[in-house]
Chains A and B, each alone.
Chain A
Amino acid sequence: MKRVAILAMVVTLAAFGIASAAPAGRVTVLCSPNPAWCDAVKAEFPRATGIAFDFVRLSSGEALARLRAERQNPSFDVWFGGTGDPHIVANEEGLTEFVRPDAWNDVRTELREAVSGPRGPMYIPLYAGILGWAINERLLKEKNLPVPRTWRDLADSRYKGLVAYPNPNTSGTGYTLLATLVQVYGETAAFDLMKRIHRNVAEYSRSGAGPGQLTGRGEIAIGITFVHDAVDQVLQGFPITYNAPSDGTGYEIGGLSLVKATPNRAAALAFINWALTPAAQSLAAERGQSYQIPSNSKTAVPRTAPRFQDFKVIKYDFLKFGSQSVRDGLVKKWTEQVFPLPK
């Protein structure tokens, strides 16, 4: 009995020992861009700094939810990438904070200004990307359908079952679309349009890159996505083209934020500073299958990245549409008025 008692204690303690330690030289990151980019960072950051790197890839809406869930006991140190609106919400809610990185003065001025409110910048811009769509022209040709030009064209009933966009509940891309339509057409007209587009939608994907992937595989013909995600599809060899609607489109300023209550502040700051260096930012296009405009003006813009001057990009009001009340209101309205409609 004695031996068994001692053994039992040892076994129990050993079992509980599985809970692993998080040593000081380790940074844990919520990673919202393409998983390939997260992988590339995971390979390079420890090499550059000697700090270990762990990440979970979550779409930006999910990442925000995770930060809220762990408000008392955050397990993440930094939130890397993903659309800006949830970064602003997180900052408003006191989940994250803006820290001034070493390379702050190299960050493109227009991006710095766009994310700055009355109380200063809400987050660090990491990249900028344009909302648009991926088009599978082969599928459209098979069906004898024209290539759409404007958002309104998507409501054409001939595109039934051929359109996809991300669910704004989980995807920052989905929310960017919502906010873009509201800014282009006004709220009432935008929701009317979305209700009509709804009849054509084959799938509301969970992540922002989903529609581009579906378009590439030819499951659908028009996938609303960030055009840089479509570039990735093109480079992979999928027979698609990309474009943005001619009546104006929105864009994102991908974010980088420090999680406020992190116990790992030093390692987190080291990561943030590293992430803004040109060497780190060029990983995105080189190995991360991500072709946005890098935020650091000293980083070379990837040859394949879509440029702002080629599209009609609206003056997107990040502070208004990033505020929690506006965001939650629009998402709730979409979930109740658009999503459940019969097709």
Chain B
Amino acid sequence: MARALTVPIARASPNITLIVWGGLTLLGTLLLSWARIGRDLFAFVPGSIGLQLLRESPVMSGITAVAALVVLTGALQRPESQRGRIALWLGAAGCALSVFYLVSSGQPFGPAAIVAALGFLAIMGTGLALSGTLRTDAFLATSILWVGAFVLAFILFPLWAVLKASVVVKGQLSLAAVTSVLKSPAFFLLNNPASSRNEAAIAAALGLVTAAVVGIVWLAHRRGWRALRAAAVAGVGIWVLAALYLGFGALRNSVLLAIVVGVVATALGFVFALLSERSNLRTRSLLGPLSILPIITPPFVLGLALIYMFGRRGFVTNGLLGLSTGIFFGPLGVAIAQILAYAPIAYLVLQGVVQAMDAAMEEAAETLGASRWHILRTVIWPLARPGIANAFLLVAIESLADFGNPIIVGGGVPFLATEVFFAIIGRFNPSEAAVYGVVLLAMTLSIFLVQRYWIGRRFYVTVTGKPSGAQHRPLPPALDYAASGVFLAWVVLIVALYGSVFIGSITKLWGFDYALTLQHIKALSPTGWQVFWTTARLSAYAAIPSTILGFLIGYLVTRVEFPGKSALEFGSMLSFAVPGTVMGIGYILAFNQGALLLTGTSLILVLAFVFRNMPVGIRSGIAAILQIDRSLEEASTMLRANSPTTLRRIVMPLARAALLSGLVFAFVRAMTAVSQVIFLITPAHNLATTQILSYVEYGSLGRGAALASLLTLFMIAVILALYAVNRRFDTRTVGKTLMT
């Protein structure tokens, strides 16, 4: 066993680690199946175990020989550094040969391939540590390689598959898919031949007029080149907005939706944040519990509730107001459902920002004679701006990726997320779906860049670590009452909407017959219950690896120095910034054929959950580890504990609370996921969220409501259980861990 901090001992005894890994790899290679038939990982495939392949495949002989050499190396009496270099090269050769064998055979991988890949990576890792190439021990070096391989295989490779499929049609490089999508009216149509007006001209004219007006006004104030730039930016901005507004298609609908939802939800979130930190009114105590509700339920539950309350036979629209209107079917309904669902996300981001503002600055402004309104405008607003941009970004990405609400209340209007779905599920046109995916990806990245640009120019630090004696100023009463009013309206809506789902699940026929019944709940058997338990089971399976992996990455990133660290961090967080829909088609495209065939198994669902939710574990892991004094770990190392022992005995117990909540949130997020997994469900492993969507779509609203209520109650119970176990529990931290 090598230790990073000790000088390698010259005369070495046999290296147990290498012998064990080499032996495991050898045994796995020889005795387990390299291929499988269809989707069953454990079905024994005659003729596919290494022993039988040795004669026909020289590559297999090579793999076996390499593994045997590793055992030999471990047993040899050589200096550790030399042994390390040999192991490193052997491990690399073994990996290369295994990959070559899998790719050339083209058959779906079997268990032997998994053992060989992990084994050779571990041998490489051990080699890296022994040879001193990485200044760490075998366990951590192996962890780095494993985690890196996972990120490569399950995050970067699917994204690559999307990019590739968008420009490769039937094996040939071609822009046909790109042009056919970009030209398709379902994607974007500006000049509609069926309308009498010329939309393109109107948009261009509006842009030009705006540019001219801005340019003139600017020149009148200050001369100079900046006037030209301002005019150009304003002109292009208005032109784009006008074109979007006048145009037709998925791009237009999704972008406008994301902008509107982003702006309104962020504004609401900011109001809530001010309330929670600065209000004198009692209403603010409702913020914690209610803001968590939309986060722990699938967002489309609100869409479903919207039909109950505001549909043509809605309780409010028809029952109370006697209206007969369908305007809530369509983009308006989707926008309302999303705003209600995502306002808490914005709130949780901004709450921290508002809380962290140093009250001394406001005090200073007040001393200088500024009014409270003036302070809000000139002190609080600029300080909150980076947080606001961040909240907007998160909400806009969620809105772009949301699939459930457009399907439930979208009225058949095209959105990017639904077009991706129809392209792959309805037409099985992978190139078309991939192009839509690339568009979504490009938009997420551009929002991200805009945000960076906006914040990048000015940055404020007000928390300096020095204690500040100043108290937070309360809001001006007028603002306090107005904000509380807005908040109360939101509360009433949220309570009514969730309530209507619960009541809908025990109501005979909403809108016609409000008699109470258990028929919808009874109708959950056999399918509904089975699906619910499958979801819970798979989510639980996924929660453990995503927490452990996330924690491990968090540890590696904060405590270990190695080349490619920032790439690993970026790669592992990428799955979070990418819309789930894009990840979903990535998984379909990457794992649908060849050696990596995984579609149709439950494993792919678990993997999707693991890598989608791993960032939750990383974030909570990093936060917890940073609070642990490094000297504790150093002391443990001094006492000759190796790094797994240190992790197990020192770091993990200290970070137990974070680990536990990470575990629970990985579970919650998996239970409520839709956008990604809707592409991956299989007959034996349907999921609750997609099942609800299918019920609602088939018009079995009652059954959908019953399953949605079950899911919601279950999530509440899980969160309460966490609360019972974890004393230092705070709804805000719950929310933050869930979404950051």
A interface residues (Cβ-Cβ under 8 A, vs B): 1-2, 4-6, 8-9, 12-13, 15-22, 28-29, 34-35, 38-39, 42-43, 54-58, 61-62, 64-66, 68-70, 72-73, 75-76, 139, 142-143, 161, 164, 167, 169-170, 195, 201-207, 209-210, 212-214, 216-220, 233, 236-239, 263, 335-336, 339-342
Contact = CB atoms under 8 A, between A and B. Distances in A.
A18 B607 CA distance: 11
25 contacts: A2-B17, A5-B17, A8-B118, A9-B119, A19-B603, A22-B39, A22-B40, A69-B424, A69-B428, A73-B38, A73-B599, A75-B38, A203-B411, A210-B699, A213-B698, A217-B510, A217-B511, A219-B311, A238-B509, A339-B186, A339-B414, A340-B185, A340-B248, A340-B249, A342-B248
Contacts of B599: 69-70, 73, 75
A73 B512 contact: no
Interface in B593-628: 593, 597, 599-603, 606
Contacts of A341: 192, 194
Classify the secondary structure of B's interface with A.
loop
Nearest to A263: B38
B666 to A, nearest CB: 14
A2 B16 contact: yes
Given A61-B427, A65-B426, A202-B411, 4 more contacts: A66-B425, A170-B422, A218-B324, A218-B511
A268 B206 CA distance: 63
A204 to B, nearest CB: 4
B606 A18 contact: yes
B420 interface: no
B220 to A, nearest CB: 40
Contacts of A209: 698-699
Contacts, number: 215
Contacts of B694: 35, 57
A70 B600 contact: yes
Given A69-B592, A237-B509, A263-B38, A219 B329 contact: yes
Interface stretch (B232-240, B485-493, B568-576, B677-685): B677-685
A143 B326 CA distance: 14
B151 to A, nearest CB: 16
A142 B324 contact: yes
Contacts of A18: 538, 541, 602-603, 606
Nearest to B510: A217
B143 to A, nearest CB: 10
Interface stretch (B53-61, B93-101, B108-116): B108-116
B18 to A, nearest CB: 10
Contacts of A238: 509, 512
Interface in B297-348: 307, 311-313, 318, 324, 326, 329
Contacts of A64: 428
Contacts of B428: 64-66, 68-69
B186 A335 contact: yes
Shortest Cβ-Cβ A-B pairs, 4 listed: A213-B699, A340-B185, A204-B412, A65-B428
Nearest to B686: A56
Q: Which of B424, B682, B698 has the most CB of A within 10 A?
A: B698
A39 B527 contact: yes
B176 to A, nearest CB: 14
B614 to A, nearest CB: 14
Given A16-B41, A16-B603, A75 B425 contact: no
Contacts of A164: 412
A35 B184 contact: no
Contacts of A206: 407, 412, 697
Nearest to B541: A18
B195 interface: yes
Given A19-B602, A20-B602, A35-B694, A5 B21 contact: yes
Given A2-B20, A5-B17, A35-B694, A340 B189 contact: yes
A161 to B, nearest CB: 6
A42 B600 contact: no
Contact of A207 (B138, B427, B588, B697): B697
B195 A35 contact: no
Given A18-B606, A20-B602, A72-B593, A218 B313 contact: yes
A165 to B, nearest CB: 10
Interface string B662-701: 0000000000000000000111111000000011011111
Nearest to B422: A169
A175 to B, nearest CB: 11
Contacts of B699: 209-210, 212-214, 216-217, 233
A79 to B, nearest CB: 12
A342 B24 CA distance: 65
Given A1-B642, A213-B698, A219-B329, A342 B195 contact: yes
A55 B683 contact: yes
B254 to A, nearest CB: 15
B695 A20 contact: no
B423 to A, nearest CB: 9
Interface of B: 1, 16-17, 20-21, 24, 37-43, 108, 111, 114-115, 118-119, 122, 138-139, 184-186, 189, 192, 194-195, 248-249, 307, 311-313, 318, 324, 326, 329, 407, 411-412, 414, 422, 424-428, 508-513, 526-527, 538, 541, 545, 588, 592-593, 597, 599-603, 606, 642, 644, 681-686, 694-695, 697-701
Nearest to A30: B683
Contacts of B39: 19, 22, 73, 75
Nearest to B409: A203
A239 B16 contact: no
Contacts of B545: 15
Contacts of B184: 335-336
A263 B186 CA distance: 39
Contacts of A75: 38-39, 599-600, 682-683
B588 A69 contact: yes
Contact of A20 (B427, B642, B644, B684): B684
A1 B324 contact: no
Contacts of A210: 697-699
Nearest to B537: A18
Nearest to B681: A56
B122 A35 contact: no
B409 to A, nearest CB: 10
B465 to A, nearest CB: 39
A54 B122 CA distance: 39
A340 B414 CA distance: 9
A17 B41 contact: yes
Given A19-B42, A42-B526, A170 B1 contact: no
A61 B16 contact: no
Given A21-B40, A43-B526, A340-B189, A76 B683 contact: yes
Contacts of A39: 526-527
A9 B545 CA distance: 13
A203 B699 CA distance: 14
A17 B307 CA distance: 42
A339 B185 contact: yes
Contact of B606 (A15, A217, A239): A15
Nearest to A67: B428
Contacts of A55: 683
A221 to B, nearest CB: 10
Nearest to A239: B512
Contacts of A8: 118, 122
Contacts of B593: 72-73
B161 to A, nearest CB: 14
Contact of B20 (A6, A34, A73): A6
A239 B592 CA distance: 46
Contacts of B606: 15, 18
A8 B139 CA distance: 11
Contacts of A161: 326
A24 to B, nearest CB: 11
Given A9-B24, A35-B694, A19 B37 contact: no
Nearest to A198: B194
A139 B511 CA distance: 13
